Chains A and B, each alone.
Chain A
Amino acid sequence: MSAQPKLKKVFDRPQCLKDVPYHYCPGCHHGVIHRLLAEQIDNFGLRGKTLGAASVGCSVLIYDYFDVDIVEAPHGRAAAVATGLKRARPDSFVFTYQGDGDLAAIGTAEIVHAANRGENITVVFVNNAVFGMTGGQMAPTTLEGQVTTTSPYGRSAAEAGLPIRVTEMLSTLEGTAYAARVAVDNIKNLKKAKAALKRAVTYQQKGWGFSFVEFLSSCPTNWKMTPEEANARVGKEMADYFPLGVYKDVRAN
């Protein structure tokens, strides 16, 4: 046998994600978003002191994937549960992981007031423009004209209003210290997403206040698209209406 070249492993799963298969549909971005959060928990060495607040939606089972302590919040209440966790255990790293149906519909009050109080927590918001888990109903973030099971002729602005831009809305609150919108549809955006999550974790670790990262995410199943088509929609239609970028970074130099 000829001499083998020296190979170095440069990519492997993060330590704080259990080595089990996800239940997510093929091409669903939830999987990548979990991994990016897990990487930061590893990078900051927070595995033993992390408390998560899970939400209701396709990511309801994140306690099966993250090897950290997680409390299952009632639908929409993750930011309120996280408030309690952080106040009771201020030395912990506390995050929520919430879908758009969870955070921007039933949980609107909880997220607005947690942000406004400037709770020192980190919120990961996964906007896939539908209620994924329950079969693709219209969410407050569904695009105008988007066909869903409850908007079979496309979302009508006259009947349902236009989609809520949550990151922009929360950025107006004095209590919000960091807010960004990112995507994981290509490598360039994924790198920015990593940087935003890192910054959000830094905010909490330094006690700088409420940090929020919105991910534009795909739902190939309920969008009735292939993973490739759904991935493309994130970068085009979704990012057109929900522009990517850092909206607030109060500690920026």
Chain B
Amino acid sequence: MSKVEVVSERCKGCGLCVLACPKKNLSLGDEYNAQGYAYVKFSSDGKCTGCSFCAELCPDMALRVYKQEKK
């Protein structure tokens, strides 16, 4: 399954990626990074498609997307 890696130290907890994900795979967590922001968490329960909408709309480039290659 495709997946998203959160660079937690770069995330500012703005939530724009949460809005962007059509599969609701992202949510704001309750753990804080060194900058003092509650960073976003990725859960693949919603079946990530690797569409990258979240990462494209993240102002801080805090997301990296890995897409599952077709067999």
Contact between B37 and A10 (Cβ–Cβ < 8 Å)?
Answer: no
Contact between A35 and B61 (Cβ–Cβ < 8 Å)?
Answer: yes
Across the interface, which residues of B come within 8 angstroms of A228, CB to CB?
15-16, 19
Across the interface, which residues of B come within 8 angstroms of A8, CB to CB?
66-69
| B47 contacts partner chain A, Cβ-Cβ < 8 Å | no
Contact between A31 and B66 (Cβ–Cβ < 8 Å)?
Answer: no
Name the contact of A31 in the complex, choosing from B3, B20, B61, B68 (C-beta under 8 A).
B61
| B64 contacts partner chain A, Cβ-Cβ < 8 Å | yes
Using an 8 Å CB-CB cutoff, how does the interface string of B30-54 with A read, 1 for contact, 0 for none?
0000010100000000000010110
Name the CB-closest residue of A to B22.
A187
A60 to chain B, nearest CB (A): 17
Contact between A190 and B10 (Cβ–Cβ < 8 Å)?
Answer: no
Name the contact of B68 in the complex, choosing from A5, A22, A30 (C-beta under 8 A).
A5
Name the contact of B16 in the complex, choosing from A5, A10, A27, A30 (C-beta under 8 A).
A27
In the complex, A216→B12 CA distance in Å? 21
Name the contact of B66 in the complex, choosing from A10, A13, A24, A25 (C-beta under 8 A).
A10
Known interface pairs A5-B1, A186-B20; A11-B65 also in contact (CB < 8 Å):
yes
Name the contact of A227 in the complex, choosing from B9, B15, B50 (C-beta under 8 A).
B15
Name the CB-closest residue of B to A6.
B69
| A251 contacts partner chain B, Cβ-Cβ < 8 Å | no
Number of interface residues of B (CB under 8 A): 31
In the complex, A9→B5 CA distance in Å? 10
User: Which A residues from 40 to 58 make CB contacts under 8 A with B?
Assistant: none
In the complex, A136→B16 CA distance in Å? 22
Across the interface, which residues of B come within 8 angstroms of A31, CB to CB?
58-61
Across the interface, which residues of B come within 8 angstroms of A7, CB to CB?
2-3, 66-69
User: Which A residues from 20 to 42 make CB contacts under 8 A with B?
Assistant: 21-22, 24-32, 35
Q: Which residues of B contact A (CB under 8 A)?
A: 1-3, 9-10, 12-16, 19-20, 35, 37, 50, 52-53, 55-61, 63-69
Given pairs A10-B52, A186-B20, 10 additional interface contacts (CB within 8 A): A7-B66, A7-B69, A8-B66, A8-B69, A21-B10, A25-B12, A26-B14, A28-B59, A32-B58, A231-B16
